[in-house]
Amino acid sequence: MAWALKLPLADEVIESGLVQDFDASLSGIGQELGAGAYSMSDVLALPIFKQEESSLPSDNENKILPFQYVLCAATSPAVKLHDETLTYLNQGQSYEIRMLDNRKLGELPEINGKLVKSIFRVVFHDRRLQYTEHQQLEGWRWNRPGDRILDIDIPMSVGIIDPRANPNQLNTVEFLWDPAKRTSVFIQVHCISTEFTMRKHGGEKGVPFRVQIDTFKENENGEYTEHLHSASCQIKVFKPKGADRKQKTDREKMEKRTPHEKEKYQPSYETTILTECSPWPEITYVNNSPSPGFNSSHSSFSLGEGNGSPNHQPEPPPPVTDNLLPTTTPQEAQQWLHRNRFSTFTRLFTNFSG
């Protein structure tokens, strides 16, 4: 009888000890996050989520991209850790973009000793403006007759061959280059971010743009249509010297933050690395034959007339109403993600069908 009474007592002691251990293991969770500073970004910054995040695109993380493009302008220090970098540029100022051959030995041997074509464009970052891009650019053309959105500074550039600018595509330039030789292109962006804000009453925030570079190799017909690599970065463009003032303001704001708050932000980097992205979906511009308004001379750069022919080249597509179907191929799924502004997920869903 006495033996039978001891068993429940032992069970109670064990159960009590387990409950205390479990309570103790949970007691620090709320304190770590803090009731006042709780946010989803804090939760996502926990080690368990970092490990999960880093394990997702494992195949791509080890992948060395064939090219790297570096914009020689500092990134903003006021960007949170998990957000994309943001770089401020001055309107009309020449900024260098270094075109680097990043291939491993034996990779893409078919382009050894050959030229590749890179197409630069400045496009809208916001989906709302992307849907009305053609109208936005046409409005800009009427307000700024004879001007271009994007230009190449030819005298400062090194290693570029046959630079071209279609007068009907104000935001696009292209050129050939040899990956084996030093290549640096200096670009100028002539529009400012506040020109595309909905309300203009002073003090409004400017819209962000993207600088995107798509690089192609020759096919067997000598046309540069075979895609090799694409990368882009986010920018904002200010009136002359405005980018320097904004960078200084961001730096001063960060200096006033506590060390704990600063940990949530990226440092400012001296240069901006363009990150891999999907190729621009509209590829009708990629051809080897001279287009109207192009100058095929290697020694000059045709800007054309900004208010020229109404017979414009096709612009990026209007609002897309297509649905993602189960029969969609992985390549079509990638294009769908890009068109619908889900380009940040293209790596994650690289091999996924609809």
Q: Sheet containing 95-101: which strands, arranged edge to edge?
A: 150-152, 183-189, 95-101, 67-71, 272-273
Contact 185, 149 (CB under 8 A): no
Task: Report the C-alpha gap between 98 and 43 in whole angstroms.
Answer: 37
Task: Report the C-alpha gap between 89 and 102 in whole angstroms.
Answer: 26
Mention every residue, 6+ apart, whose C-beta is less than 8 A from residue 65.
102, 229, 231, 276
User: 285-312 burial, b for 16+ CB within 10 Å, e for fewer?
Assistant: bbeeeeeebbbeeeeebebbebebeeeb
What does the pLDDT profile of the chain (354 residues) look like in tens digits?
A: 444 444 444 455 455 555 555 455 444 444 444 444 445 455 445 444 443 343 344 444 456 789 999 999 999 999 998 899 999 999 999 999 999 998 888 888 899 999 999 999 999 987 778 887 888 888 888 988 899 999 999 999 999 999 999 888 999 999 999 999 999 999 999 999 988 877 655 555 788 999 999 999 999 888 999 999 999 999 999 999 999 999 999 999 999 999 999 999 999 999 999 999 989 875 443 344 333 333 333 333 433 333 333 333 444 444 445 677 777 777 778 877 877 767 767 767 777 777
At 278, the amino acid letter reads S
CA dihedral over 180, 121, 158, 231, signed as positive or negative = negative
CA distances from 256 to 115, 266, 269, 342 (A): 49, 15, 19, 35
Q: Which pTM was predicted? A: 0.64
Task: Report the C-alpha gap between 16 and 324 in whole angstroms.
Answer: 54
Other Cβ atoms less than 10 A from the Cβ of 352: the count is: 13
Task: Report the C-alpha gap between 73 and 268 in whole angstroms.
Answer: 10
Q: Residue 187 belongs to what H/E stretch? A: strand 183-189
Delineate the domains of the chain, giving CATH numbers in brackets. 67-103+112-276 (2.60.40.10), 328-353 (no CATH)
Mention every residue, 6+ apart, whose C-beta is less than 8 A from residue 245.
238
